[in-house]
Amino acid sequence: MSASSIASVAPVDRTKSQARSKLVGLQILRFVAAFAVVLFHIGSAYQIKWGYESNVFAIGAAGVDIFFVISGFIIAYTTDAARGAWHFCKRRIVRIVPLYWILTLGIAAIAFIRPELLNSTLVNGETLFKSLFFIPFEKANGAIQPILFLGWTLNYEMFFYTVYAACTAVGLRTPFAPALLIILLVALGRIVRVDHIAWQFYTNPIMLEFVFGITLYAIHSRWPEVFRRHWLFIAALGLLIAARQLLPGLPWIFANGVPAATLVAFALTWAPKHTPLIAMLVLFGDSSYSLYLSHPYIIEALAKVLPADAGLLVQIVAGAISSCIAIVASVALYKLIEQPSQKLFLARTPQLVRSSG
């Protein structure tokens, strides 16, 4: 690959308005992905509460895969490598840490005061430290999750950011560098078996979804016409449903990762007209990080107060109510915590796209 071809897909600095005008579809997809995870956890809570054989919203777990692909794309799209590794790290830390720490400390407080309200959450100095600093560890139930259990995805995100920043720090200023490192790491994990949680965690093929996002950026920046094919949307849904239903043994990266990348590709083709509905969906997209982290506890709280003999209609209404409460709460968290923290800590930083969580 020539130097000129590498430079042509190198990260560029874009203003917030420029990126917004081009990535409205992606912002809306962020909300769709977060809401899919909300539905998944409603189905999971109901499965436990009322003994359903399966989670009717199992497909909603694919929202996580969509987030990872979007993250890979956005980081490559918005990062100006010339500003250096510290600039990159500062933006990502400010974007991720404040809300995550506040919610983690909140759950830790509940675990100390009313531990019976939580399921398998054990809080001590070690688990709190590892949770706050994105160090994977195994819970008593065998799950590799922090105190705020959905933070397991943030462990992957922060590791991806670390790889990206490290490449920038040593002068590898093309998104292909972290992509290649991730591919090599995952491949090495298939070859070298190490009995260590961090090794097993970070060599998981789900890391390749960040590479999918970087690849989409590379294609989008050079050949944007490739994405102007609306059949991609139908193909993505078909692949997602078929893979989950017809090929249950298919590896996760193919069953969810490839369809997720296809959905992101479609979102890049969609430039809806500005309407009140679109504006609301974009706001929900902005709030998707808050929605993602906070919703399980809202769902669980409502499920706990419902009677064990609640009928199907009551369950459906309760699910709708908890979804609405979760969305409203996420917008409040975005307005009260995310936006102020970004303004406070990035006050001296040029206005870049900050909606890439």
pLDDT for position 6: 32
Q: Does some domain include residue 238?
A: yes
Identify which of 273, 272, 16, 41 has the alpha carbon closest to the alpha carbon of residue 149: 41
Task: Please name the residues in contact with 90: beta carbons below 8 A apart, sequence gap of 6 or more.
Answer: 345, 346, 349
Q: Give yes or no for residue 267 having a pLDDT over 60.
A: yes
- What is the number of domains present in the chain? 1
Residues 185-212 have pLDDT tens digits of: 999 999 999 999 999 999 999 999 999 9
* Mean pLDDT within 107-116: 87
Work out the end-to-end distance of the chain between its first and last CA atoms, rounded to an integer number of angstroms: 31
* Count of alpha carbons within 13 angstroms of residue 354, beta-carbon side: 22
What per-residue string of b and e applies to 237-269 under the rule 16 or more CB within 10 Å gives b?
eebbeebbeeeeeeebbebbbbbbbbbbbbbbb
* Mean pLDDT within 238-244: 66
Q: Give yes or no for residue 171 having a pLDDT over 70.
A: yes
Q: Does some domain include residue 185?
A: yes
Q: Does some domain include residue 136?
A: yes
Residues β-bridged to residue 352 = 15
Select the more confidently predicted residue: 270 or 144.
Answer: 144
pLDDT for position 250: 75
Q: Does some domain include residue 95?
A: yes
Q: Give yes or no for residue 357 having a pLDDT over 50.
A: no
Q: Does some domain include residue 350?
A: no
pLDDT for position 283: 97
What is the average pLDDT score of the chain?
A: 85
Residues 42-89 have pLDDT tens digits of: 999 999 989 898 999 998 999 999 999 999 999 999 876 556 677 788
Give the span between the Cα atoms of 127 and 106, in whole angstroms. Answer: 14
Residues 208-224 have pLDDT tens digits of: 999 999 999 998 888 77
Of 36-50, 146-160, 321-335, 342-356, the range with the lowest mean pLDDT is 342-356
Give the span between the Cα atoms of 291 and 53, in whole angstroms. Answer: 27
Inter-axis angle of helices 276-286 and 288-305, nearest 10? 80
pTM: 0.87
Q: Does some domain include residue 333?
A: yes
Of 9-13, 49-53, 234-238, 251-255, the range with the lowest mean pLDDT is 9-13
pLDDT for position 257: 87
Q: Does some domain include residue 352?
A: no
Select the more confidently predicted residue: 87 or 96.
Answer: 96
Identify which of 62, 6, 94, 85 has the alpha carbon closest to the alpha carbon of residue 256: 62
Cα–chain center distance at 240 = 18
Q: Does some domain include residue 1?
A: no
Rg (CA), the chain: 20
Cα–chain center distance at 324 = 20
Give the span between the Cα atoms of 197 and 127, in whole angstroms. Answer: 14
Q: Give yes or no for residue 14 having a pLDDT over 50.
A: no
Task: Please name the residues in contact with 297: beta carbons below 8 A apart, sequence gap of 6 or more.
Answer: 107
Residues 21-30 have pLDDT tens digits of: 568 999 999 9
Q: What is the DSSP letter of 334?
A: I
pLDDT for position 354: 42
Identify which of 147, 154, 98 has the alpha carbon closest to the alpha carbon of residue 127: 147
Tokens (6 digits) for 107: 């759950």
For residue 104, the enclosing domain spans 11-345
Report residue 117's pLDDT band, with 50, 70 and 90 as the boundaries: confident
Q: Which long-range contacts (CB under 8 A, 24 or more apart) does 273-281 make?
A: 278/24, 278/28, 281/27, 281/28, 281/31
Select the more confidently predicted residue: 6 or 63.
Answer: 63
DSSP 243-281: HHHH-TTS-HIIIIIHHHHHHHHHHTT------HHHHHH
pLDDT for position 356: 42
pLDDT for position 254: 79
pLDDT for position 15: 43
